[in-house]
Chains A and B, each alone.
Chain A
């Protein structure tokens, strides 16, 4: 018995003593949102006001908050950012020049710093509402009142959601009437420009019975230091309808991104949501699927490729409230450098939600000595006759796969690149848009070049 023992590691975080000198609040912490009372209906103005008050009262989520385990709400530096100011003509021109969207699209909006700079909605079928958030407030107030941010923020960002509601003015509202199908995607670009500018984009998609729509949001940086996007997407699928939605976050390396999505799947609806995290020093997504209708289905997909010191923080909830519903989650992260990923997912099956099929898979591919992947897959089951499973793996590229390619004369670095591309492309394919797949694979290739 010669070995001496170091004290056993502690698993409970030690509370950090509060600094006696907390810096004076600044930036978004104190910047009162500017709202013109005439520009919005009364109910919205009241909610926005209340949200600002709520934001100020709610504390920042602390380190003991389970929803922020292994992460930190301080990574969203509110004090350092201020609401983005209107873009200059040069900004607008530069943003439009840099907007290379899908060729096959039904409609497009381009926003710079939460200001609309281009819209093209001419090719939409009759009856479809596809307007900016501001226009929707004026013309479709009732739909907004019913569906806009109606779900509780359960995954930890209630404070940030309140801030979003206090500031929100940009984004798109898409309402698809009964039996109408929009085949090509609606594309929305959100550019942020200027030092430490913050944007608050919102997307609301409502489909009536048997309607179909596909929407792609892009979050990008033009120039300037930092940058912050606090975005929210509300997806409400009516009976038998189909929604596919992608959020592609490619902000600058020093930006911060938060994306909160709330999915409500009605009877027999099928909703597919997709998170792409390629940019930002810290990016967090919170995705909640509420399966409220019998026979509904939610597919939740995500890819990320953090490099350097990027942190990707993913929180998900598959909330089964009705019988015969199914959900399938697949999140894949390929990590380089000193990057980190945190995946925390939960499947809940309520009492009475029998015959549920729910799956959750998180795969992490670690490509460097110092990359770190944390997985917190969870299940809470209170019904029987359910099929539920989750799986989480973390590891390097397998030697066999590498050997297979190298045996065919492909170099080590090229082989690795191919494997990672294939690893991530498998998820993107499930989204089911060939053009988006090609675009994203090209972006992933570019980033891989930077990583190695």
Chain B
């Protein structure tokens, strides 16, 4: 833990737990920049089938043709120098099934992050990605016996092409945005999960993403399919060391919840504060299905992420619960996208953001209820908390409703921790910083409860760390 003078809180980084690196020993390195050769290199290394190679090439074109969306997004995007990244790095080894087989430095990395310990304690399966490829992938025998597939995306593509190909790229088309196109061109890693009909996976499946190398872009691709009546919870965490140069993380995550299925996707994003985190996440909920995104963004330099749910079947339900914390030098541009495409669908968005120092948090939302539907409901609440006098917060929702058989409501508020509140707590012997931390934790408390126990404890600790030095 680095301590910083009181007047400069930007140097305090909660990701100090992840701020270490091991020497690179990559067998495969795509080199800097992105061209057709890069795409071919990746396709060769990964031994892609032809349709994937073609998919990558088409996506590269789309990526190159699409302008940066700076007409609505932050100009900071212009600081991404696509030529200064490496798009694929791996040691050429297959993911290991046992931690004992994982190379020492990689294992030490995940040991330090506490992953093997968590796996023993409460997880049904773990996948650990190191730069471009998975280093470790395991699923508990009992879960595997139920027919649950939990592998990395490359393995999913090769072993289960009949399921993989049917859904891959169908929820988020390549051209959805510039960064989904980039991911489609160079994707590697990420999880592929299939839960058979009626199977309810009791414990969460977890993926952990680690960037170890400098000037590198991580582009994992996750596809989760919960068949009829199935239930699954997936959690992802991530860290990277703090390099001098920027790092790019651009994932695509597609969820498919079939009739009556339920998918919960939990993210605790704690990238170091030089990572551009530009992620496209969307789920499709069929009849009576439910997709829930529980999204927590604490790290990164710039995060742009708007998890979405397309409610395609009747009575489908979508939910986004979002917590964002922006410290100095950070911009958390997060939100939600709810597309109602069937009758009686309901969606709920609850977003809470905290801006500290010169941090900027932005909520951007879209709710779309097109014509000829009935009984759709949306509720959106976004609350922002400003800690310092130079903190920033923005809210940009867009709600479009057609017809007289729906109801939507949107509310947003901006507030501070009141001086009275701090005074009250300090009267009882707390320091100002403790009082502030307690108030902030109170602000997000009802959302933190939505996270699994182990995560909510971790989350509170991270927020406490981030709050240090923010007052006084």
Binds A, one of B11-19, B410-418, B445-453: B410-418
For B282, the closest partner residue in chain A by CB is A8
Residues on the A chain within 8 Å of B175, using CB: 10
| Contact call A377/B405, Cβ cutoff below 8 A | no
| Contact call A5/B400, Cβ cutoff below 8 A | no
Which single member of A5, A370, A383, A395 contacts B371 (CB below 8 Å)?
A: A370
| Contact call A371/B310, Cβ cutoff below 8 A | no
For the complex, is A382 an interface residue (Cβ under 8 Å from B)?
yes
| Contact call A8/B171, Cβ cutoff below 8 A | yes
In angstroms, Cα B415 to Cα A3, docked, is 45
Closest beta carbon of chain B to A224's beta carbon, Å:
33
| Contact call A5/B410, Cβ cutoff below 8 A | no
| Contact call B310/A9, Cβ cutoff below 8 A | yes
In angstroms, Cα B396 to Cα A66, docked, is 11
In angstroms, Cα B387 to Cα A392, docked, is 26
| Contact call B403/A381, Cβ cutoff below 8 A | no
For the complex, is B170 an interface residue (Cβ under 8 Å from A)?
yes
| Contact call A373/B400, Cβ cutoff below 8 A | yes
Closest beta carbon of chain A to B362's beta carbon, Å:
9
| Contact call B401/A390, Cβ cutoff below 8 A | no
In angstroms, Cα B228 to Cα A3, docked, is 11
For the complex, is A103 an interface residue (Cβ under 8 Å from B)?
no
Closest beta carbon of chain A to B85's beta carbon, Å:
24
In angstroms, Cα B284 to Cα A269, docked, is 52
Residues on the A chain within 8 Å of B72, using CB: 66
For the complex, is B258 an interface residue (Cβ under 8 Å from A)?
yes
For the complex, is A374 an interface residue (Cβ under 8 Å from B)?
yes
In angstroms, Cα B174 to Cα A7, docked, is 11
For B411, the closest partner residue in chain A by CB is A391
For the complex, is A384 an interface residue (Cβ under 8 Å from B)?
yes
The 8 A CB mask of B163-192 against A (1 = contact, 0 = none) is 100110011110111000000000000000
The 8 A CB mask of A352-391 against B (1 = contact, 0 = none) is 0010000000001011111111111111111111111111
| Contact call B401/A364, Cβ cutoff below 8 A | yes
For A343, the closest partner residue in chain B by CB is B399
Which single member of B339, B388, B400 contacts A372 (CB below 8 Å)?
A: B400
| Contact call A389/B401, Cβ cutoff below 8 A | no
For the complex, is A24 an interface residue (Cβ under 8 Å from B)?
no
Residues on the A chain within 8 Å of B394, using CB: 378-381
Which single member of B258, B312, B392, B412 contacts A391 (CB below 8 Å)?
A: B412
| Contact call A369/B405, Cβ cutoff below 8 A | yes
Q: Tell whether A381 pairs with B414 under 8 Å between CB atoms, given A371-B402, A394-B401.
A: yes
For the complex, is A45 an interface residue (Cβ under 8 Å from B)?
no
| Contact call B396/A376, Cβ cutoff below 8 A | yes
Which single member of A8, A64, A354, A389 contacts B414 (CB below 8 Å)?
A: A389
| Contact call A377/B171, Cβ cutoff below 8 A | no
| Contact call A378/B284, Cβ cutoff below 8 A | no
Closest beta carbon of chain A to B329's beta carbon, Å:
16
Which single member of B390, B395, B409, B413 contacts A382 (CB below 8 Å)?
A: B390
Closest beta carbon of chain B to A76's beta carbon, Å:
21
Q: Which residues between 184 and 235 of chain B lie within 8 Å of chain A, taking CB atoms?
A: 225, 227-228
Residues on the A chain within 8 Å of B4, using CB: none
| Contact call B225/A1, Cβ cutoff below 8 A | yes
| Contact call A367/B395, Cβ cutoff below 8 A | no
The 8 A CB mask of B283-313 against A (1 = contact, 0 = none) is 0101000000000000000000000001011
For A397, the closest partner residue in chain B by CB is B404
For the complex, is B27 an interface residue (Cβ under 8 Å from A)?
no
Closest beta carbon of chain A to B294's beta carbon, Å:
22
In angstroms, Cα B339 to Cα A383, docked, is 33
| Contact call A8/B407, Cβ cutoff below 8 A | no
Q: Tell whether A385 pairs with B416 under 8 Å between CB atoms, given A11-B366, A368-B404, A370-B403.
A: yes
Total B residues in contact with A, Cβ cutoff 8 Å: 63
Which single member of A3, A70, A373, A381 contacts B386 (CB below 8 Å)?
A: A381
In angstroms, Cα B313 to Cα A369, docked, is 20
Closest beta carbon of chain A to B444's beta carbon, Å:
18
| Contact call B170/A7, Cβ cutoff below 8 A | yes
| Contact call A374/B410, Cβ cutoff below 8 A | no
In angstroms, Cα B366 to Cα A394, docked, is 14
Residues on the B chain within 8 Å of A354, using CB: 389
For the complex, is B422 an interface residue (Cβ under 8 Å from A)?
no
Which single member of A376, A386, A390 contacts B398 (CB below 8 Å)?
A: A376
For the complex, is A430 an interface residue (Cβ under 8 Å from B)?
no
| Contact call A394/B408, Cβ cutoff below 8 A | yes
Closest beta carbon of chain A to B282's beta carbon, Å:
7
In angstroms, Cα B175 to Cα A366, docked, is 34
Residues on the A chain within 8 Å of B31, using CB: none
Interface residues on A, range: 35 or more
Which single member of A5, A383, A388 contacts B284 (CB below 8 Å)?
A: A5
Q: Tell whether A8 pairs with B173 under 8 Å between CB atoms, given A379-B412, A384-B416, A385-B416.
A: yes
| Contact call B389/A383, Cβ cutoff below 8 A | yes
Closest beta carbon of chain B to A325's beta carbon, Å:
15
| Contact call B403/A374, Cβ cutoff below 8 A | no
Residues on the A chain within 8 Å of B71, using CB: 64-66
For the complex, is A179 an interface residue (Cβ under 8 Å from B)?
no
Closest beta carbon of chain B to A33's beta carbon, Å:
32
Residues on the A chain within 8 Å of B395, using CB: 377-379, 390
Which single member of B386, B397, B401, B409 contacts A378 (CB below 8 Å)?
A: B397
Closest beta carbon of chain B to A316's beta carbon, Å:
14
Residues on the A chain within 8 Å of B339, using CB: 8-9
Residues on the B chain within 8 Å of A396, using CB: 404-407
| Contact call B389/A384, Cβ cutoff below 8 A | yes
For the complex, is A22 an interface residue (Cβ under 8 Å from B)?
no
For the complex, is B384 an interface residue (Cβ under 8 Å from A)?
yes
Which single member of B167, B337, B386, B399 contacts A384 (CB below 8 Å)?
A: B386
For the complex, is B441 an interface residue (Cβ under 8 Å from A)?
no
Q: Which residues between 250 and 268 of chain A lie within 8 Å of chain B, taking CB atoms?
A: none
Q: Which residues between 3 and 19 of chain A lie within 8 Å of chain B, taking CB atoms?
A: 3, 5, 7-12
Residues on the A chain within 8 Å of B109, using CB: none
Interface centre among B171, B372, B399 (most CB of A within 10 A): B399
The 8 A CB mask of B368-389 against A (1 = contact, 0 = none) is 1001100000000000101111
The 8 A CB mask of A57-70 against B (1 = contact, 0 = none) is 00000001110011
In angstroms, Cα B405 to Cα A440, docked, is 28
For A65, the closest partner residue in chain B by CB is B71
Residues on the A chain within 8 Å of B396, using CB: 376, 378
Residues on the B chain within 8 Å of A381, using CB: 384, 386, 392-394, 414
In angstroms, Cα B357 to Cα A382, docked, is 11
| Contact call B401/A373, Cβ cutoff below 8 A | yes
Which single member of B282, B386, B410, B414 contacts A377 (CB below 8 Å)?
A: B410
Residues on the A chain within 8 Å of B406, using CB: 366, 394-396
Q: Tell whether A389 pairs with B176 under 8 Å between CB atoms, given A351-B390, A366-B401, A380-B394.
A: no
For B393, the closest partner residue in chain A by CB is A381
For the complex, is B21 an interface residue (Cβ under 8 Å from A)?
no
In angstroms, Cα B280 to Cα A12, docked, is 14
Chain B interface (Cβ < 8 Å from any Cβ of A): 69, 71-72, 163, 166-167, 170-173, 175-177, 225, 227-228, 258-259, 282, 284, 286, 310, 312-313, 337, 339, 341, 366, 368, 371-372, 384, 386-416
Known A-B contacts: A379-B412, A395-B406. Give 12 more (CB < 8 A). A11-B337, A11-B368, A367-B404, A368-B404, A376-B398, A376-B399, A379-B414, A386-B414, A389-B413, A390-B412, A392-B409, A396-B405
Can you show 8 pairs from A to B with CB atoms below 8 A apart?
A1-B227, A10-B176, A11-B337, A364-B401, A373-B402, A393-B408, A393-B410, A394-B406
